[in-house]
Amino acid sequence: MDNDRIAALEARVELLEAAAHFPKYMTADQVCDAMQINRTKFWQLRSEGLAPPALFLGTRTMRFDRDDVLQWAASLKETA
């Protein structure tokens, strides 16, 4: 197996391990806890269009898909 395939598999395993710790649909507070940021920062990122997309389950109920949150977190990593 070449190095690229191994790296891809390792990245996938990392995502699956992270996914096992969070519910499929997360509240804003759960996203903040997972990312270790405060609510103000999260809502600021959201207002700037820099947060994961939300699912609206009613006029006052918003959830975030765990997979979108994990993808968003991975996109914030710096590449050296």
Taking the alpha carbons at both ends of the chain, their separation in whole angstroms is 24
* Model confidence at 10: pLDDT above 90: no
The predicted pLDDT at position 22 comes to 86
Q: What is the mean pLDDT of residues 51-72?
A: 93
56 band by pLDDT with thresholds 50, 70 and 90: very high
* Model confidence at 80: pLDDT above 60: no
Crossing angle, helix 3-19 and helix 66-75, to 10 degrees? Answer: 130
Q: What is the mean pLDDT of residues 33-40?
A: 92
Among 28, 22, 20, 39, CA closest to 64: 28
